[in-house]
Amino acid sequence: MTMADKLLPLIAGNWKMNGLKATARGLARDIAERARTTRLACDIALCPPAPLLVVVADAIEGAPVALGAQDCHPEPFGPHTGDVSAEMLADMGCRYAIVGHSERRAEHGETDALVRKKAAAAHRAGLVAIVCIGETLAERDGGKTIEIVTRQLKGSLPEAAAAANTVVAYEPVWAIGTGRTATAQQIAEVHARIRADAPPDIRILYGGSVNAKNAREILAVKNVNGALIGGASLKADDFWTIVQSVPH
């Protein structure tokens, strides 16, 4: 049995740029209450927008639910207006930090090299980095999926990446927020390659239109150690159905 088998799967909710104080508090409290009264087969993390981290931290206090951030700056402090350091996130109670999400790569021009620096910053602050990789539709149609995923993986993981401080999230860009989901065979193929190239025993999540209806099939695929959830994480019932879909 590998460490990936021993580590619980991770179900992480990426709220993206959604939520106000009242809705964030209510959603986080709902998830926290369910987690307190359930025998869990997975780790749970909620990753709200930065302004809502304190609200969510208060709402989940004492529950088996971890707090995560959606990004971090490579530097610990300095003249970086609008940015947040990993140390600040850790000080706010975060356990995880997502880095390299495809929306950050596309909208902010983040390169593999920058993602690697951000992951290293998360490690420096004692956070677990959730490093995102994935191909576009054009790259998939061009038969370049494995090439792109391999390049991003090798370019985005710092040397210190290990199962204890890093999670890899495979999110095909063409499946994020589109309602399209990779087939079980497609997921298995990519996750097998990531497993071969990644540090030993690291958890590999799948993300991309995972929802309450398809979660059980996806989470049963070999080398899938959890999921990074977008839209479905904004509805407590849907998110909890995904949590309960993790194989026991």
Please write the tens of the pLDDT for every residue from 27-65: 999 999 999 999 999 999 999 999 999 999 999 999 999
Given a contact cutoff of 8 angstroms between Cβ atoms, the answer to whether 103 and 139 are in contact is: no
Mean pLDDT of the residues in the chain = 96
Q: Is residue 2 part of a domain?
A: no
Within-domain flag for 192: yes
In this structure, are residues 225 and 188 in contact, taking their beta carbons and an 8 Å threshold?
no
pLDDT, mean of residues 205-213: 95
Locate 47 and state its tokens: 């990753």
> Is 39 inside a domain boundary?
yes
| pLDDT value of residue 129 | 98
Q: Is residue 1 part of a domain?
A: no
Tell me which long-range contacts 157-161 makes (C-beta under 8 A, separation of at least 24).
Answer: 157/116, 157/119, 157/131, 157/198, 157/199, 158/116, 158/117, 158/119, 158/120, 158/123, 160/120, 160/123, 161/119, 161/123, 161/129, 161/131, 161/198, 161/199, 161/202
Q: Residues 73, 87, 101, 123: which is the catalytic one? A: 101
Tell me: the pLDDT tens digits for 119-158?
A: 999 999 999 999 999 999 999 999 999 999 999 999 999 9
Q: What is the CATH number of the domain that holds 222?
A: 3.20.20.70
Residue 94 lies in a domain: yes
pTM: 0.96
Q: For residue 133, is it within any domain?
A: yes
| Annotation says 171 is catalytic | yes
Catalytic residue of the set 103, 110, 135, 171: 171
Looking at the domain assignment, is residue 248 inside a domain?
Answer: no
Tell me whether residue 80 is one of the annotated catalytic residues. Answer: no
Domain count within the chain: 1
| Residue-range definition of the domain harbouring residue 106 | 7-243
Q: Is residue 231 part of a domain?
A: yes
Structure tokens at 146: 């494995």
